[in-house]
A and B are shown apart, each in its own frame.
Chain A
Amino acid sequence: MKLKVGVFKFTSCSGCQVELIRMNEQLPELLNLVEFKYWAMASSKLEDGLYDLALVEGAISTPECIEEVKAIREKSRVLVALGDCAVTGGVPSIRNWMSQREAETIVYPKPGYIRSTRVYGIDEYVKVDYYLKGCPPRLENILEVFKAVILGVKPRLRQHPVCVECKLYENECLLTTYKQPCMGPVTAAGCGAICPNVGRVCEGCYGPMSDPNVASMVERLREIGLSDDEILRKFRKYAGMSKLYREVAKL
């Protein structure tokens, strides 16, 4: 029996689905093991549940999304939040820190038309079995979830910080050595430290690791000269709605 899979999209850029499609010539191999019952971006055949695995991309930001994601949950055995938007609200959640009216009037000539709500990850409304962090999650992380669900085991997704991967690549520390504002120490690994590998600080796109020391990170960023506003912007980019980042609200 092939694994019955549904791929769903809410408030997002589709980049996580595109990352999945980046498996390219491996796709036929995956198709030996899974059947996509519902994947609107790739197929005109849209079949209703039950799904063994539902990959849900995107944040929840309208009343319709809330109802739809609940319906998907009811039809799915394992439900996975695919990418930051689904995990915590991601980049679209940045607007949660301005008043809804302000956001609307900047963009709309007629703000009266708008009916968006605050932006949340999907677990605000439904139970999530696994979280695929990242903007986007790396393909091998996504495939790890496929393998685990097929085998009926828990996927091995990294909870430690990016620093661990950075050490494996023998990068010099951008934060301590070069005094650059690297978010690696509080950010979940899984990306393979791709940014430090190419001379760029970690921007935190995987969201928080399992137990981040936010207070210490804030202190470090102050020491190297960042203002509290700059620090807030760093934390409120990819995972600002994360409970683990609540401490920065004191700034």
Chain B
Amino acid sequence: MKTVRIGYLTRVEGKAELDLTIDGEEVKDLKLKIYEEPRFFEALLKGRSFEEAVELTSRICGICYVTHQLSSVRAVEKVLGVEVNDRIRLLRRLIAIGGIISSHCLHLYLLALPDVLGLPDVFTADPKLLVKALRLKAVGDKLVELIGGRGVHPVTIVVGGFTYTPPKDKLMKLTQSLKEAKKTAVESVPLFSADKFPRFEVDCERVALSNPGEYAINEGRVKSNKGLDISEDEFRAFIEETQVPHSTAKHSKVKGRGSYMVGPLSRVNLNFSQLSDDAREAAEASGFKFPSSNPFAANMARLLEVISLIDEALELIDAYREGPVRAPFQVKGGSAGAITEAPRGMNYHWYSIGDDGLIKAADISPPTCQNARRVEDDLREYVPTIAHLSEEEIASKCAMLIRAYDPCISCAVHSIEVKVKKL
């Protein structure tokens, strides 16, 4: 009998721990315990103006604020019947790309890379590598800042569009650093290649937005490798949330089926052909084969997205023309939901708004809530394959698998708390 306990899961955002009991190869007990304090976002939105939804839901997460703002603004605009122009759509895509580059690089180089290098953190890694990697992350930060007015919790995204028109010349100045960043990303392929991670295949439902016109980020249909194909308006009809007694994050499943994975691996698996040529070439060199059923391939999927999205950012900046970025609208009541792809997967926001413009109810399902059950299911299948190792090694490999999901625990616990005994 082995007992494995990770007391404070490090190098993830937020507070979680893992409790695991193994008898031979059999998992007797496995609980990913999330003990982050609840923040009641759905409650504190009640009675606030529709205009504050973007600003307040941004604070659900200090890493994926951009996607919370974009899901929120799209849902509110659907309620109000606001049509935004192509320029606004382009800028929203560009800021989402910035957010994804920044978040992916934070994960890859600061949180995941120490596992590959066998270090507790990157602070003791080769400073040259660190500087290059962080310059790559900085490009994502800069894109968000230029369009959003601020890096963390941007301020320009409002219902109807943007508060200001980002100057084209400032965006153009980023092209050189984007090109250098892409070089760093391509050079990083060997750092996260298949030989650096366990060979572990697991069959599960992988869900992501998909859009015939572009690599889906801000708009698309919800699709999966198991035949799911629904609009964002049908999300709640097909996805249900349940409470489990050991976690402060709600668990999600596809109705009538089971847990599912959202995030970069689901996206790359489903929409591989829409990645840029260089990203697909990098995939060839990575040793992973996409679609991949190895959850550790999520790190490579992140890197492929960084490469592809830099290529696309360069095209979008080139195509961008300054002009009006705010659509007019009138306040009216109703309800609607919207999904955008957060760096770590689909992010669902739904609001009911009164004729007075005040929010009556909100329903928010960030990606880490959706992944929570899948992470446990993965671990249940993974642990028997490593059960012969020492407790310490099992703990570190399990932490690595959880980390591959890039969990964002503050997001997951934006609303719910169940009694948990902290060990």
Contacts and interface: CB of A to CB of B under 8 A. Distances in A.
Given A14-B63, A106-B43, 17 more contacts: A14-B14, A16-B152, A22-B138, A25-B131, A25-B135, A40-B11, A42-B110, A43-B120, A45-B121, A91-B59, A95-B44, A98-B46, A113-B417, A197-B149, A198-B155, A203-B55, A233-B47
Nearest to B248: A113
A17 B153 CA distance: 13
Q: Which 5 A-B pairs have the closest CB atoms?
A: A15-B62, A43-B121, A45-B120, A14-B62, A13-B62
Contacts of B415: 107
A50 interface: no
Interface residues of A, number: 65
Contacts of A94: 44, 56
Size band of the interface chain B makes with A: 35 or more
Interface in A145-183: none
Contacts of B59: 13, 15, 90-91, 135
B40 A16 contact: no
Given A42-B110, A198-B164, A200-B163, A18 B156 contact: no
Contacts of B47: 233
Contact of B418 (A10, A19, A91, A113): A113
B100 to A, nearest CB: 14
A110 B250 CA distance: 13
B146 to A, nearest CB: 10
B12 A41 contact: yes
B8 A15 contact: no
B321 interface: no
A221 B278 CA distance: 54
Contact of A43 (B10, B14, B44, B60): B10
Given A45-B121, A64-B422, A14 B61 contact: yes
Interface of A: 9-19, 21-22, 24-25, 27-28, 31, 36, 39-46, 58, 61-62, 64-65, 90-92, 94-95, 98, 102-104, 106-110, 113-116, 135-136, 139, 191, 194-195, 197-200, 203, 205, 230, 233, 237
Interface string B398-418: 010000000000100001111
B19 interface: no
A20 to B, nearest CB: 10
Contacts of A107: 38, 40, 42-43, 415-416
Interface string B27-44: 000000000011110111
B419 A113 contact: yes
A90 B41 CA distance: 13
A14 to B, nearest CB: 4
Contact of B37 (A27, A62, A90, A194): A62
B212 interface: no
A13 B60 contact: yes
Contacts of A9: 14-15
B42 A106 contact: yes
Contacts of B361: 106
A194 B150 contact: yes
B388 interface: no
Contacts of A39: 121
B3 interface: no
Nearest to A27: B134
Nearest to B245: A113
Nearest to B106: A21
Nearest to B138: A24
A116 B141 CA distance: 34
Interface in B117-174: 120-123, 127, 130-131, 134-135, 137-138, 141, 149-153, 155-156, 158, 163-164
